[in-house]
């Protein structure tokens, strides 16, 4: 029996696994995040453990096919390939791409492997496509990024919640238990299952969330809802923001966003009139080429109302991937070292170098962001752990061509994902119930993942693979999760995300520990910013931001908006969930009845969606819950990201997944 947590989203619902003659039985455990509940994905998560698609032997490419190989042959090919490519093209020609679902230990080990064993600066991860805009906005406003700077239970106690670009009723259903319908305001171009639960739904034109936020702040100022005592005592920069939003009068916001003036006022009144209020953002606000500024605009609103750092109120971001928080804290992101340290900070480099036993100058500098890495002509080899960029990256057809043109592609996975199918070497790795480690959920709570059973014969853990490769490359390290975590604790000590006081024993005894936790006598930090923010002067920073159009607006050739997202039964690229028969789902195109009538199609008919990057065909799902100028596609199936725009946010380097110009025709 094993008490562990779900392998999917960042809510990290608690579960118990029991081995039986028929397989693995999943039971829900009571925990603050899920309150004893699981969604369909959680209940069926063990189905993959004995799935016939499991890889149990390494594969190496022989011409157009992949054939079985021994571990020795596969690893020889990897190490020899790395050596030849780095000798010919330089160290940075070998890249590493990680994932937000990796345990803290694996994320840390991957960053260490890249910088110490490979000596490459070219490493990033798929979390760049997830929370990077919210992280950038949080850092510049508060001096620190933690998805929720308070426990999730605080949301349940709030009298009003503004939820921007999130659909937790489908993406993390147990979270809905923390949302009160009477005070819930949802911002989404679609009337989603979550929007239907709320008291007020603001349905903006895709790409106009920033203008909407500035308009809400304009109303808060003109209607006298600004908490001047809080603003004067705890923030800087309000006057500049007040001047910037003066031009966003309600009628102008309505014309641009399509949200009625009355609804704008109603939203502000609900937030300002609540004793405890929350502003929460998610991918809908963040996955834009102006995502950092959009999140900043909602942070400005929260600051003006006096919410962040006030007990029972605040601003937060709903992290998506299972370890989306911890995954970006410990070194697999291009610009960071363990503890959420900046890789270009000399003091940070000196501290981590001492832990790693290397000279500070031997640690490479910052590398390219995820999409830039996945389209760089300078990269000739790529090692992928915990990600499937052939499906999840924007302009996916171009990324697939790039992957196919590499001199060496190595993929560690437990199934033959779309990315693994392109690889030169595939390394079969363990699943979540076959390994120990830690995860950091959306609250910043560090929790335990506990092993139920050993991996199948022929399968190794990611830590074992990294340790073997590191040893062969002259930089030996451990494959034991506890030893890796202890090293992570030392490397993070004194950093923003300080894990020094967190141990496996404490997590077991306390049910999880919130970072920062600088020593073992420290209780952890469930609520941040109660006394001061993590800025040099302890004050939060207002930042003026201006709306700008989407990178690609509709025109005569592509007259519609395309937006993408997730659905209830699927997760990320679908490499896991599409293999579970109890999780039905197929690609579709959601469009309004008026648009369906205009192009002459009925519900269920095949339609082709095209953008400037390609086209894909799927059945139509005709629904009045979407705007008439917008079509929606779930991205789990591979078609949607053939179409999406790789335009990047200048700060976070987030691609613009959430809006581009499109056209729809009968197939």
Q: What is the pLDDT of residue 387?
A: 96
Q: Same structural domain for residues 143 and 9?
A: no
CATH number of the domain that residue 116 is part of? 3.40.50.740
Q: Same structural domain for residues 154 and 116?
A: no
Look at residue 535 and tell me if it is in a domain.
Answer: no
What is the number of structural domains in the chain? 4
**pLDDT, average across residues 216-240:** 98
Q: Same structural domain for residues 584 and 444?
A: no
Look at residue 540 and tell me if it is in a domain.
Answer: no
Percent of the chain exceeding pLDDT 90 equals 95
63: pLDDT strictly greater than 80: yes
Query: If you write DSSP's letter for every residue of 306-372 in order, what string do you get?
Result: T-TTSTT-EEEE---STTTTGGGTTT-STTEETTTEETT-HHHHHHHHHHHTS-GGGS------HHH
Of the three residues 295, 318, 341, the one that is the final residue of a domain is: 318
110: pLDDT strictly greater than 80: yes
Contacts of 667 (CB under 8 A, 6+ apart): 605, 606, 607, 608, 617
180: pLDDT strictly greater than 80: no
Contacts of 102 (CB under 8 A, 6+ apart): 110, 323, 327, 332, 385, 386, 462
Six token digits for residue 137: 């906005």
**pLDDT, average across residues 303-307:** 98
Contacts of 519 (CB under 8 A, 6+ apart): 500, 501
**pLDDT, average across residues 236-244:** 98
Of the three residues 279, 296, 318, the one that is the final residue of a domain is: 318
Quote the Cα angle for 375-377-380, to 5°: 100
CATH number of the domain that residue 625 is part of? 2.40.40.20
Q: Same structural domain for residues 257 and 382?
A: no
Q: What is the pLDDT of residue 540?
A: 98
300: pLDDT strictly greater than 90: yes
Look at residue 484 and tell me if it is in a domain.
Answer: no
pLDDT digit string, tens, across residues 146-160: 999 999 999 999 999
Of the three residues 266, 288, 318, the one that is the final residue of a domain is: 318
Torsion (CA) 383, 4, 446, 344 in degrees, nearest 10 = 0
97: pLDDT strictly greater than 80: yes
Domain that holds residue 605: 560-666
Q: Same structural domain for residues 37 and 120?
A: no
Q: Same structural domain for residues 165 and 294?
A: yes
Q: What is the DSSP letter of 666?
A: E
Q: Same structural domain for residues 101 and 240?
A: no
Q: What is the pLDDT of residue 61?
A: 98
Look at residue 487 and tell me if it is in a domain.
Answer: no
Q: Same structural domain for residues 139 and 64?
A: no
CATH number of the domain that residue 151 is part of? 3.40.228.10
**pTM, full prediction:** 0.96
pLDDT band at 584 (very low <50, low <70, confident <90, very high): confident
Q: What is the mean pLDDT of the chain?
A: 96
Q: What is the pLDDT of residue 181?
A: 74
Q: What is the pLDDT of residue 22?
A: 83
Look at residue 586 and tell me if it is in a domain.
Answer: yes
**pLDDT, average across residues 263-269:** 98
Helix (H, G, I), strand (E, B) or coil at 264: helix
Look at residue 495 and tell me if it is in a domain.
Answer: no
Look at residue 205 and tell me if it is in a domain.
Answer: yes
pLDDT digit string, tens, across residues 521-570: 999 999 999 999 999 999 999 999 999 999 999 999 999 999 999 999 99
| CA 308 – CA 300 distance, rounded (Å) | 10
Q: Same structural domain for residues 222 and 313?
A: yes
Q: What is the pLDDT of residue 542?
A: 98
**pLDDT, average across residues 117-127:** 97
CA 136 to chain centre: 13
Look at residue 328 and tell me if it is in a domain.
Answer: yes
Q: Same structural domain for residues 151 and 300?
A: yes
Q: Same structural domain for residues 304 and 250?
A: yes
CATH number of the domain that residue 22 is part of? 2.20.25.90
Residue 238: which H helix or E strand, with range?
helix 238-245
Q: Same structural domain for residues 107 and 147?
A: no
Q: Alpha carbon of 202 to those of 62, 168, 313, 484, 602: distances in Å?
A: 54, 16, 21, 46, 28
Q: What is the DSSP letter of 113?
A: I
């Amino acid at each position: 029996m094993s008490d562990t947590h779900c392998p999917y989203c960042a809510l990290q619902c608690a579960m118990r696994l029991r081995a039986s003659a028929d397989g693995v039985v999943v039971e829900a455990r009571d925990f603050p995040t899920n309150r004893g509940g699981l969604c369909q994905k959680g209940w069926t998560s063990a189905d993959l453990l004995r799935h016939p698609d499991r890889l149990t032997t390494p594969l190496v490419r022989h011409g157009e096919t992949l054939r079985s190989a021994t571990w020795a042959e596969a690893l020889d090919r990897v190490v020899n390939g790395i050596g030849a490519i780095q000798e010919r093209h330089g160290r940075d020609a070998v890249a590493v791409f990680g994932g937000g679902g990796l345990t803290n230990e694996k994320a840390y080990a991957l960053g260490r492997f890249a910088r110490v064993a490979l000596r490459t600066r070219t490493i990033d991860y798929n979390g760049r496509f997830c929370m990077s805009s919210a992280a950038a906005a949080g850092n510049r406003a508060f001096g620190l990024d933690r998805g929720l700077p308070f426990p999730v239970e605080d949301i349940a106690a709030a009298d009003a919640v503004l939820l921007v670009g999130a659909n937790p009723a489908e993406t993390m259903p147990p979270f809905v238990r923390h949302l009160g319908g009477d005070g819930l305001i949802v911002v989404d171009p679609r009337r989603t299952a979550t929007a239907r639960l709320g008291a007020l739904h603001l349905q903006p034109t895709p790409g106009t969330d920033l203008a909407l936020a500035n308009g809400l702040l304009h109303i808060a100022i003109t209607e006298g809802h600004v908490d001047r005592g809080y603003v004067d005592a705890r923030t800087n920069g309000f006057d500049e923001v007040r001047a910037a939003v003066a031009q966003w009068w309600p009628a102008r916001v309505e014309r641009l966003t399509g949200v009625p003036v009355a609804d704008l006022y109603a939203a502000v009144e609900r937030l300002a009139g609540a004793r405890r209020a929350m502003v929460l953002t998610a991918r809908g606000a963040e996955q834009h080429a102006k995502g950092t500024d959009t999140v900043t605009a909602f942070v400005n609103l929260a600051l003006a109302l006096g919410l962040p750092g006030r007990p029972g109120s605040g601003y937060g971001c709903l992290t998506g991937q299972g370890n989306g928080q911890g995954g970006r804290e410990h070194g697999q992101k291009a610009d960071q070292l363990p503890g959420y340290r900046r890789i270009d900070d000399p003091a940070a480099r000196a501290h981590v170098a001492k832990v790693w036993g290397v000279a500070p100058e031997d640690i490479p500098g910052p590398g390219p962001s995820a999409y830039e890495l996945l389209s760089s002509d300078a990269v000739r080899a790529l090692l992928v752990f915990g990600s499937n960029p052939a499906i999840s990256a924007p302009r996916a057809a171009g990324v697939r061509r790039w992957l196919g043109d590499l001199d060496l592609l190595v993929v560690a996975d437990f199934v033959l994902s779309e990315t693994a199918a392109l690889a030169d070497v595939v390394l079969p790795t363990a699943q979540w119930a076959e390994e120990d480690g830690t995860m950091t959920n959306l609250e910043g709570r560090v929790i335990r993942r506990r092993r139920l059973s050993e991996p199948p014969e022929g399968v190794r853990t990611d830590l074992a693979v990294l340790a073997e490769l590191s040893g062969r490359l002259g930089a030996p390290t451990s494959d034991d999760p506890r030893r890796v975590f202890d090293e992570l604790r030392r490397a993070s000590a004194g950093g923003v995300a300080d894990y020094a006081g967190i141990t496996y024993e404490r997590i077991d005894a306390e049910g999880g520990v919130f970072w920062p936790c600088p020593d073992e006598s420290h209780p952890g930090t469930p609520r941040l910013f109660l006394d001061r923010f993590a800025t040099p002067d302890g004050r939060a920073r207002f930042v003026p931001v201006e709306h700008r159009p989407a990178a690609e607006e509709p025109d005569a050739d592509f007259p519609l908006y395309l937006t993408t997202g997730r659905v209830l039964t699927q997760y990320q690229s679908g490499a896991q969930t599409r293999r579970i028969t109890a999780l039905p789902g197929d690609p579709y195109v959601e469009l309004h009845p008026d648009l369906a009538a205009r192009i002459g199609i009925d519900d269920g008919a095949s339609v082709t969606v095209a953008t400037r990057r390609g086209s894909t065909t799927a059945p139509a799902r005709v629904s009045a819950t979407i705007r008439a100028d917008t079509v929606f596609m779930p991205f789990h199936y591979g078609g949607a990201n053939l179409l999406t725009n790789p335009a990047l946010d200048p700060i976070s380097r987030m691609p613009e997944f959430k809006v581009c110009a499109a056209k729809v025709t009968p197939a």
